[in-house]
Each structure stands twice: as C-alpha cells, then as structure tokens.
Chains A and B, each alone.
Chain A
Amino acid sequence: MTKSELVERLATTNGVLTRKESELVVNIVFASIENALKQGDKVEIRGFGSFTVRERGGRQARNPKSGEIVDIPAKKTPFFKTGKDLREKVNDLKQ
C-alpha cells in the first residue's frame, strides 16, 4: 500500500471527505509525527506502536573504494516499536 492508496481508502471508508481533504489528513498525521521526532519527542499511538529517536554514536569507517579511514559523525535515527496488540496480530498470520 502506498500513501496515495491509503488516501484513497480513507476517502472511501469515510465517505464524506473529498480526496483532497483525505490527503490533507494523511499528510498531517505523518507531519505531526515527524515534527515531534524532530523535537526529540516520543510519539505513542495506542494500539499501533511508538516512535522514538535513537542516538547513534560516531564511529570510524573505511571508504571501500579508496581504503581511506573516514570519521562518521554521531547522528540521530528514528525508531519504531510495534505495539503489543499489532505485534501479536501480525504474527498470527502465520498459523
């Protein structure tokens, strides 16, 4: 499923919103999460999961082409932890 398919499904399920409005809703959902993470905030979505920011320490690595040692600076990375309910339901598929 792509974002536009999600927009489409939201518009049909809801039945009231136009496609444009439906797209705006989906965009606001993800922009809100992004903005919270940018501020280092944790985002908790009940029944779905939580998004947090994890810090990765700087490290040294090698440029595989030239063999040169380069410093990789510390950086932040978004992390998603699946909620218990969704985790169990996703796993249930198998049985």
Chain B
Amino acid sequence: MTKADIIENIYEKLGLSKKESAELVEMVFDIMKDTLENGEKIKIAGFGNFVVKEKANRRGRNPQTGEEIVISARKILTFKPSQVLKASINTQ
C-alpha cells in the first residue's frame, strides 16, 4: 500500500476531488514530519507514538574489515505501536 491508496480512501469517503484528497494526505504527513524534525513527539491514540530519541556515542565494528570504529551520537525516530494496534494486527 502507498499514499495513493490512502488518497483513494479519502476520496471515496469524503466526496472531495482527487486533487484535494491528495493535498490533504500530503498535509497530514508534512505536519507530522515538521513536528518530528523539531524533536517533538507525536501520540496517536489507538495507533502509537512516534518519538525522537537521543543515542549516545558507541563503539562498533566495520563488519567487512573488523576495524573498531566509534558510532557517533545521533537522534533517531522510533515508533512504539499502541496495545490496540498490536491486538488488531493479531486478530484475523
């Protein structure tokens, strides 16, 4: 499934044009991206939380050469699914 299928669902249920439906879906993800890029978390009840986490420096190894390297501190985005979503995926 891609954005196009979500757009189709909006188009069918809201009676807007395809163009408007596409713009709305784009807007939803743009707002979410903006928020996360600012380091703010997003909590969607019944779906899950998107959280930006800070990772400290750590030692790693180049798997090809075996050489030890330092993996620099970074920020990563994690998704924690809600219990509701997990349960839903496990029921037929």
Contact = CB atoms under 8 A, between A and B. Distances in A.
Contact of B14 (A1, A21, A78, A93): A21
Contacts of A41: 1
Contacts of A93: 37-39, 52, 75
Interface string B53-88: 010000000000000000001111111010001101
Contact of A89 (B1, B33, B90): B33
Q: How large is the interface on B (under 10, 10 to 19, 20 to 34, 35 or more residues)?
A: 35 or more
B3 interface: yes
Interface residues of A, number: 48
A2 B32 CA distance: 10
Interface string A24-45: 1110111111101110011111
A47 B37 CA distance: 13
A79 to B, nearest CB: 8
A29 B2 contact: no
B55 to A, nearest CB: 9
Given A3-B43, A30-B44, 9 more contacts: A2-B45, A14-B23, A25-B10, A36-B1, A43-B2, A47-B33, A48-B29, A80-B79, A94-B74
A53 to B, nearest CB: 6
Q: Which 8 A-B pairs have the closest CB atoms?
A: A80-B79, A36-B1, A78-B81, A82-B77, A32-B6, A43-B1, A89-B37, A30-B47
